[in-house]
Amino acid sequence: MTTQIPSDMVPFVQRMVSERRFLNESDVLAEGLRMLQARETLREEVAKGFAQLDAGLGVPADQVYARAEQRIAEIERGER
């Protein structure tokens, strides 16, 4: 597949390559697609979460915060 880079994006893509952030234009475009894919995956996961909340499947905030604080303490102690 071949594609055209929109003319207003060409300078940005060229700068990313010239600054050696990417090896070539294809790598810049591939990274953009990876980011788009990640955003869409996140959007889907958020929608699932809201659907679960709407269905009454949520977890009380105090439980969430307690687990988060516990996990932070584990990380600070070097536990996995």
Confidence label for 70 from pLDDT (cuts 50, 70 and 90) = very high
What's the confidence (pLDDT) of residue 25? 95
What's the confidence (pLDDT) of residue 80? 73
User: What is each CA distance from 49 to 4, 36, 59, 67, 73, in whole angstroms?
Assistant: 37, 20, 11, 18, 26
- Mean pLDDT for 53-59 is 94
Interval 20-29: pLDDT, tens: 999 999 999 9
Confidence label for 2 from pLDDT (cuts 50, 70 and 90) = confident
**In the chain, where are the structural domains located?**
10-76
- Mean pLDDT for 53-65 is 94
